[in-house]
Structure 1
Amino acid sequence: MSLPLFYDLVMSWDAELTALTERIGRSLFVRPEPRANFADLVRGLLADVPRKNSWQLSDHVGHGTANRFEHLLDRAKWDAEALREQVRDYVVEHLASPDAVIIADDTQAIKKGDRSVGVAPQYCGSTGQVENCQVMPMLTYASAAGHAFINRRLYLPESWAHDPRRRAMAGVPEDVVFATKPGLVIEMLAVELSAGTPFAYLAGDAGYGRDPELRAFCHRTERPIAYVMAVPVDLPLVTVHGQSEPAGHVLDRLLALGDAGLWERRSCGQGAKGVRLFDWAAVAVHVKDQQPAPGHGHMLLLRRSVADPAEIEFFLAHARVGTAITELIRIAGMRWKIEENNEQGKDLLGLTQYQVRKWTPWHRHVTTVMLALAFLTVTRARLTGMDAPTVREDEQGKALVPQVPSG
C-alpha cells in the first residue's frame, strides 16, 4: 500500500473513532466538557503510552494535570452500565452472527495493599498461584468477524462482601451481595439473553464448566443454552447401570478397549502459531443429577495433545441432539479468544493499569477499555480483504493497536 493511501486509512480510523466517542459521549453526558474528556481517554488508551494510568494518559493527550481523568472516573455524573450496553451494541452491530459464541473467563489484576475494592489473596490464573489481586469475570463475544468483550463483573470475596466498613469505604452499592464467579457469569448471561444478543454457544474453562448451577441455568427449558466447557476429571457422571462415576473413568474404559480408532486428529481453529491440531474422542454421557434441556444431550469430549499424549483435557458439551462432533470441537477451540482479549486488554489498552480503588471508578475504567478494544476489533474486521496489514505486530509478533492521531 502506498504511503498516501495508508495515510488516508489512518485518517479514516481517526474519523471513525471521533464519530464513535461523540455519539456515545452525547448519550452519557449532558455537558461538553466530560464528553471531550471521555473522548480523550479512549484516544489515550489506544495510543502508545507506556502506562495507561491517569497521569501518563493525561500527559499524552496534552492535559496539564490528571485532574480531568480522575474527575471523569470518580466524581463525574455518568452511568458505566449505560456505557457497557453501548459497547455490547457496537460489538453486536459489527460482529453479530447467529452462530457466534459467548466465552466466559476471568482475568486478574495484581495489586498491593488491601484497600482497592475486591482485592484479596486469591488464585491468579496469570501466575498460577495465590496473589493479592482483584478477579474480574468477563464475557467475550466471538464470531468469524472478530472477538471483543461485551460484559464484565468485579468479584467480591466474602471478606469484602460481608464487611460493611470496607464496602462503605470502597463505595460498593448496598444491593451488591456475594456471588461466586460462575454466579456472576449467570448474571451476565441473563443480561445478554434479555438484550437479545445473538449467539449459539457458551464456552468456558473448567472453573465454569464444573459449576452445577451455571450448567443448570443453561439447561432451562424456556431458553436453553448450548455450551462446550472444560470440566475436571472428577466431574460426576452416571453409568448405563445407574452408578456414579467420575469423567476420568470414561477415559479409562475407552483406553481399555485399545487405542486404535479411538482418536481422530482434528483442528479446533487457528492459533497464534497456526492450525491448532489435537487428537479428539467423544462419547455420549449422562451427568449426575442433571438432565439436559429437551431436545439436547450431553457429550464428553476428550482432547489429547499431539506433542504429549499424556496431556488430556475433558470438555462437557450440551447441544441439540444430532449436532456434529466437528461443530463441538470448533466451539471448544473458541475458548482461547477470550484469553487473547485479556492479553490485548492488559498489554495494549491498560485494562489493569488503573490507579483507582473504588467500585464506581473501577467499572468506569474497565468499561472504557472495553470500548477501546471493541473499536480495535471492528477496525480489524473492516480491514479484512484490503491490501493492507490487518494489524501491525511488534518484534515478538504481538498485535499492536492501529495508531490514530492524538490531537
Structure 2
Amino acid sequence: MTCSLTYDLVVSWDAELTALTERIAGPLFTRPEPRSTFPDLVRSLLADVPRKNCWQLADHIGHVKAYRFEHLLNGAKWNADALRDEVRSYVVEHLGRPDGVLIADDTSAIKKGDKSAGVARQYCGLTGQVENCQVMPMLTYASAAGHAFINRRLYLPESWANAPGRRKEAGIPDKVVFATKPALVIDMLTEEIAAGTPFRYLCGDSGYGRDPDLRAFCHEQEIGYVLAVPVDLPLIAVRGGGEPVGHLLDRLLAHGNSAVWERRSCGSGTKGVRLYDWAAVTTRPAEQAPAPGHAHTVLIRRSVSDPTDIEFFLAHAPIDTPVSELIKLAGLRWKIEENNEQSKDFLGLTQYQVRRWTPWHRHVTTVMLALAFLAVTQAALPPDIDEPSDQGKDQRARPKPP
C-alpha cells in the first residue's frame, strides 16, 4: 500500500523550514532586518524561480525591490562560517552515521569580466576546457540516509593571490593565501575532524587522488579513502619494484580475462544500477606507507559497454576490508555530482550577482542550507510515498520537497 503527498505533509514541510530558518537567524544576526530577510531568501531559493538573482527572488517573495536581499549578502553584519557550522550540525543531526563518507569535488561558475573574486582563465569542469570562471572545491557528507554539502571553499588562483589591488577591491582577507585545491580540501577535512563530523572515508576524483599531500594527511589521521587516480600514479608492487598504476592492468591481463574481472554494482544512478567489471590488486603509493592497521588496494574499473573505458582507484582502508565495500565507496563519488547539479539547476548555486569574497561565501552557504533542508526532508519521507506523475515535465533529478 502506498500513500500520496498530502496537504498536511506539505504544510509540515513549510513549518519545519520556518522553524529551521528562524532558529538559525536568531543568533546569526544582531539586527532585526537581516534576521527577518534571511528566512525569505532561503524560502525563495527553494521556490520555482527561473533565475535565482536578487531581483527575481525578491519579486517572488513579495519584496518591492531587491535591496533587502542585496543588503543581506553585501552589507549586513554576519558570519558565513557560522552559518556553515549550522548547516553541518543540521546535516549531521539528521543524516550523520558512524560510517559516513566525505566526498570532495570542485565545481565551476562561468563568469564575464575579471572583477569577481577568484575569476580567471582556468580549467572548468563544467565544460571540460579552459574558461573564464570561478572554481569552488566543495565537500559533501553522504550516508545511507542521504547526502548534502557541508563545507566549501573559493579557489584563489596565484594571479589573484599575488595582486594586492585586485584583492582589496574584491574584499579578500589578508589571511587568505594561494593554496591548491587539494590543500583546500585538507583544510576542510581538518575542520570536519575538529567539529567531530562522523565519517570513515574520503572519496574524490583523480584531481584529488593524485595529490600526495592529501593522501599523506589521510594516512596521518588514519582516514580511509577511495580516490580515483591517474594512470601514471607511481606505485610500489607487492613483490617490490616500482611501476605506474596503468601497468597493473597489462600485468593482470596476462593471466587471462576470466581470472581478472568480476562484474559488480557500485550503486544506482538515474539510469538504474551501475554495473562495471572490476579487478583489485594490493599495492601502495611510492614513498607512502599506509596508516597502522590499514592497507592500500588498487581498484580497476572497466566499462561493460566499452572495454577501453578504464578508470583506476586507490583505496586506503583497514586490513581485510572486503573489496565489495571498496567498490561501493568508489561509486559514492557521484553523490557530490548530484549535489552540484541540483544546487545549480534548482537552487541557484552559480546564479549569484555578487563579486566580493564575503558575499560569495554568504550566497553559497545559504544555498547549502537550502540543499540540506531538501536532503533531510527527503530522508524523512515515508518509504511507501507515491509521488505525482512527472509525465511531460522536466525529468532531471529534481529534489522532491518542498
- Where does residue 66 of structure 1 map in the other structure? 66
Shift of 1:146: 0.6
**Contact in 2 for aligned 1:46/1:401 (Cα 8 Å):** no
Aligned to 2:161: 161
Q: Secondary structure at the match of 2:104?
A: strand
From 306, 309, 320, the counterpart of 2:307:
309
Question: What's 1:289 paired with?
Answer: 287
| TM-score, length basis structure 1 | 0.96
| Matched length | 401
Give distance in 1, aligned partners of 2:98 and 2:113.
Answer: 45
Which 10-residue stretch deviates more, 393-402 or 98-107?
393-402
Kept after mapping to 1: 8 A contact 2:374/2:401: no
User: Could you state the TM-score of these two structures normalised by the residue count of structure 2?
Assistant: 0.97
- Residue in 1 aligned with 2:120? 120
Contact 2:238 2:282 in 1 (8 A): no
**Which amino acid in the other structure matches residue 235 of structure 2?**
L
What letter matches 2:342 in structure 1?
Q
Letter of the aligned partner of 1:205 in structure 2? D
Instruction: Say which SS state the counterpart of residue 13 (structure 2) adopts.
Output: helix
Over 3 Å counting, the alpha-carbon distance change for 1:297 and 1:117 in structure 2 is: same
* CA-CA distance at 1:6 after TM superposition: 1.3
Q: Which of 249, 262, 265 is matched with 1:264 structurally?
A: 262
Residues 393 and 153 from structure 1, CA distance in 2 versus in 1: closer, same or farther, beyond 3 angstroms?
Answer: farther
Contact residue 47 and residue 401 of structure 1 kept, 8 A:
no
Map of 2:78 onto structure 1 = 78
Query: In the TM superposition, what is the alpha-carbon distance from 1:87 to its structure 2 partner?
Result: 0.1
Say if 1:267 and 1:2 are closer, same or farther in 2 by CA, change over 3 A.
Answer: closer
Report how far residue 385 of structure 1 moved. 1.1
- Residue matched to 1:325: 323
Structure 2 stretches of 5 or more lacking a match? none
Q: Aligned partners of 2:36, 2:255: CA distance in 1, in Å? A: 67
SS of corresponding position for 1:234: coil
| In structure 2, distance between residues paired with 1:286 and 1:204 | 18
Q: Could you report, residue by residue, the CA deviation over 1:132-176 in whole angstroms, capped at 9, with x for unpaired residues?
A: 000000000001111000000000000001110000000000100
Q: Mind listing any 5+ residue stretches in structure 1 that lack a counterpart?
A: none
Assess, with a 3 A threshold, how the Cα gap between structure 1 residues 403 and 85 changes in structure 2: closer, same or farther.
Answer: same
SS of residue paired to 1:219: helix
Tell me the distance in 1 between the aligned counterparts of 2:326 and 2:358: 39
- Worse-superposed segment, 254-263 or 368-377: 254-263
Aligned residue runs from structure 1 range 206-221, under 5 A: 206-220=206-220
- Measured against aligned partners, the alpha-carbon deviations of 1:51-83 in whole angstroms (never above 9, x if no partner) come to 001011011101111110110001100000000
| 8 Å Cα contact 1:216-1:290 kept in structure 2 | yes
Inter-partner Cα distance in structure 1 for 2:392 and 2:222: 43
Counterparts of 1:74 and 1:301, CA distance in 2: 47
Is this contact kept in 1: 2:342–2:399, CA < 8 A? no
CA change 1:370–1:266 in 2 (3 A) is same
Gap change, CA 1:260 and 1:401, over 3 Å in 2? closer
Q: Letter of the aligned partner of 1:117 in structure 2?
A: A
User: What's the CA shift string for 1:165-215, capped at 9, x where partnerless?
Assistant: 000000000100100000000000000001110011100000000000000
Matched residue type, 1:320? P
Is the alpha carbon distance of 1:271 and 1:170 closer, same or farther for their aligned partners in structure 2, counting shifts above 3 Å? same
Number of the residue aligned with 1:46:
46
* Contact residue 95 and residue 143 of structure 1 kept, 8 A: yes
1:380/1:390 contact within 8 Å kept: no
Paired position in structure 2 for 1:190 = 190
SS of residue in 2 equivalent to 1:383: coil
Aligned to 2:142: 142
Matches within 5 A, 1:14-29: 14-29=14-29
The Cα offsets for residues 301-346 of structure 1, whole Å up to 9 and x where unpaired, read as 0000000011110000000111000000010000000000000000
CA shift at 1:394, angstroms?
Answer: 7.2
Query: Residue type matched to 1:310 in 2?
Result: T
- Cα shift at 1:402: 4.9
Shift of 1:106: 0.3
| Contact 1:96 1:143 (8 Å CA) reproduced | yes
**Separation of aligned partners in 2, 1:148 and 1:318:** 24
Structure 1 residue 399, shift from structure 2 partner: 3.3
CA 1:394–1:276 in structure 2 vs 1: closer, same or farther (change >3 Å)? farther
Counterpart for residue 236 of structure 1 = 234
Query: What is the DSSP-based 3-state SS (H/G/I as helix, E as strand, rest coil) of the residue aligned with 1:102?
Result: strand
Stretch moving more, 232-241 or 129-138: 232-241
Contact 1:25 / 1:39 at 8 angstroms: preserved in 2? yes
**Contact 2:28–2:79 under 8 Å retained in 1:** yes
Distance 1:247 1:194 in 2: 34
Supply the distance in 1 between the matched residues of 2:62 and 2:69 (Cα, whole angstroms).
12
Instruction: Provide the residue aligned with 1:87 in structure 2.
Output: 87
- Which has the larger displacement, 118-127 or 389-398? 389-398
Find the counterpart in structure 2 of residue 227 from structure 1: 225
Which residue is equivalent to 1:37?
A: 37
- Hey, what's the Cα distance between the residues in 2 that align with 1:241 and 1:16? 58
